[in-house]
Structure 1
Amino acid sequence: MPLPFLTADRAFDAADDAALPFDDRERPRRPYRPGPWRVGVAALVLLLSSYVLFAAVIIALTDSPSAAAPVLVGGVVLVLCALRLLRVGVWVSTRGVRHVTFFTTRTTPWEQVSDLRTVQQPVRWLGLPRTVQGQALVLARKGHGAAEAPVLLTTHGADFLARPEAFERAADAMEAWAEECRRG
C-alpha cells in the first residue's frame, strides 16, 4: 500500500534544482514526514482501538448487538482520532498554507502571506504548556501585527523533536513554496 506522506522528504532530497518538486501543485502536500512522536502516539491509539473493537465483537457475540454498539462507536472514534492525529501539521499548495490542528483547519491564501520566517523564541514542548527555547516557523500575514502571527512549526513539536535537520529542511521547503507561489 503506498504511503504518500512517507515520500515527502525523499521528493525534496531528490529534486535539488526545483523548489517545488511535485507535478500536481494544486493538491495540498505536507513538505515533511510526520515525526516519530506523532506516529508513535497514533500507533498506540490504533492498538487501543483494536482491543476496543475486538471487545465490541465479543460483546456482540455473547450479549446483544445493542450492547456492543457503544463500544463499537468508541473504537471507531479512536480510529478516527488516530487518523486525524496523523493529518495534523502544515500543508502547502498553490492556493495557500493549510494549518491543520486536531480540532481546526485554517487555510491562508498566499496573497495574504507577507512573510514566512524562522525565529528564535520560547516554544511549547510537544504541545504541552511547558515552554523551552527553540526555533519556530512563523507566518506573517499582510495587515496583521507580529503578535498575531501563528506558529506553524517548532523544533520541539511532535514532528521535529530531536530532529533539527528535519526542521531546517521543512522550513526551507515552506519558504520555497511561499516564494514560488507569491511570485507566480
Structure 2
Amino acid sequence: MPLPFLTADRAFDTDDDVALPGDAPEHWRRPYRPGPWRVGAAALMLLLSSFVLLAGVAIMLTGDPASAAVCCAVGLAVVAGALRLLRMGVWVSSRGLRQVRFFVTRTTPWAQVAAVRTLQQPVRWLGLPRTVQGQALVLRRRRDRDGQDAPPLLTTHNADFLGRPPAFDRAADTVEAWAEEHRSR
C-alpha cells in the first residue's frame, strides 16, 4: 500500500525540469524525506499496535467483548498516532506554509510571511526539553499579534534531521526558496 506522506515530493530531489504527473503547485508537499528517528518511532508504534490488536482478538475469542473493544480501540489509537507522527513537519504549496505538529496544524498564507531564514540558536534535541546549539529555520510573520517568535519550523536536531546536516540545509534552502518565490507575488 503506497503511503505518499512517507516520501518527499520527487520534484525536490531532481535537478531536471521535468514536470511530474500531477505536479501542481497548489498541492501540499513536504520538501524533504522524514528522518530515520521519526520513521523508527512510527515503526515501533505500529509494532506495538499489532500486539495490542492481536491481544484484542485473543480477548474477543475468550468471550469478553467489552475488554476486546477497549483493546482494539487502544490499538487503533496507536496506529492513528503513528500515522500522525509520520505526517508531522513542514509542508509548502502555492497557498502558504503549513507546520504540522502532533496535535496542532498551523497554516500561514504567503501574504502573511515576512521572512523565512536559518538562524544559529539553541534548539530542542528530538523535541525534548534539553537544548543544544544548532540551526533552526524560523518563520517571521508580518503581523504577529503577541510579538513572540513562532517556534522553529525545522531544526538540525529534530527527528527528521538529527545526524543529517546536508538534508537540513537542502530542506531549509527549499522552504526559503518557496517563501521568496511566493511572497513576491
| Counterpart position of 1:127 | 127
Residues in 2 aligned to 1:4 and 1:81: alpha-carbon distance in whole angstroms: 17
| Counterpart position of 1:173 | 174
Displacement after TM superposition at 1:2 (Å): 3.3
**Aligned 8 A contact 1:136 1:151 in 2:** yes
The alignment status of 1:79 with 2:79, answered yes or no, reads yes
Displacement after TM superposition at 1:16 (Å): 5.1
The alignment status of 1:14 with 2:11, answered yes or no, reads no
Displacement after TM superposition at 1:27 (Å): 1.1
The alignment partner of 1:151 has SS state of coil
Q: Which residue identity lines up with residue 161 of structure 1 in the other structure?
A: L
Displacement after TM superposition at 1:23 (Å): 2.2
Residues 1:33 and 1:146: Cα distance change in structure 2 (over 3 Å): farther
> Runs ≥4 in structure 1, deviation > 4 angstroms?
none
The alignment status of 1:35 with 2:35, answered yes or no, reads yes
Displacement after TM superposition at 1:178 (Å): 0.7
The alignment partner of 2:153 has SS state of strand
Residues in 1 aligned to 2:101 and 2:82: alpha-carbon distance in whole angstroms: 13
Displacement after TM superposition at 1:125 (Å): 0.3
* Superposed counterparts of 1:104-143, under 5 Å: 104-143=104-143
Q: Scaled by the length of structure 1, what TM-score is found? A: 0.91
> What is the percent sequence identity of the aligned residues?
68
| Counterpart position of 1:64 | 64
Q: Structure 2 regions of 5+ residues with no counterpart?
A: none
| Counterpart position of 1:89 | 89
Displacement after TM superposition at 1:49 (Å): 0.2
Deviations 1:23-65 (A, max 9, x none): 2111111100000000000000000000000000010011232
Displacement after TM superposition at 1:11 (Å): 2.7
| Counterpart position of 2:54 | 54
Displacement after TM superposition at 1:14 (Å): 1.1
Q: Which residue identity lines up with residue 166 of structure 2 in the other structure?
A: E
Residues in 2 aligned to 1:120 and 1:61: alpha-carbon distance in whole angstroms: 57
The alignment status of 1:159 with 2:174, answered yes or no, reads no
The alignment partner of 1:8 has SS state of coil
| Counterpart position of 1:98 | 98
| Counterpart position of 1:148 | 149
Q: Which residue identity lines up with residue 45 of structure 2 in the other structure?
A: V
Q: CA RMSD in A?
A: 2.0
Q: Structure 1 regions of 5+ residues with no counterpart?
A: none
Residues in 2 aligned to 1:149 and 1:32: alpha-carbon distance in whole angstroms: 21
Residues in 2 aligned to 1:121 and 1:113: alpha-carbon distance in whole angstroms: 21
Residues in 1 aligned to 2:91 and 2:100: alpha-carbon distance in whole angstroms: 8
Q: Scaled by the length of structure 2, what TM-score is found? A: 0.91
Q: Which residue identity lines up with residue 24 of structure 2 in the other structure?
A: D
Would you say how many aligned residue pairs link Structure 1 and Structure 2? 182
Residues 1:183 and 1:16: Cα distance change in structure 2 (over 3 Å): farther
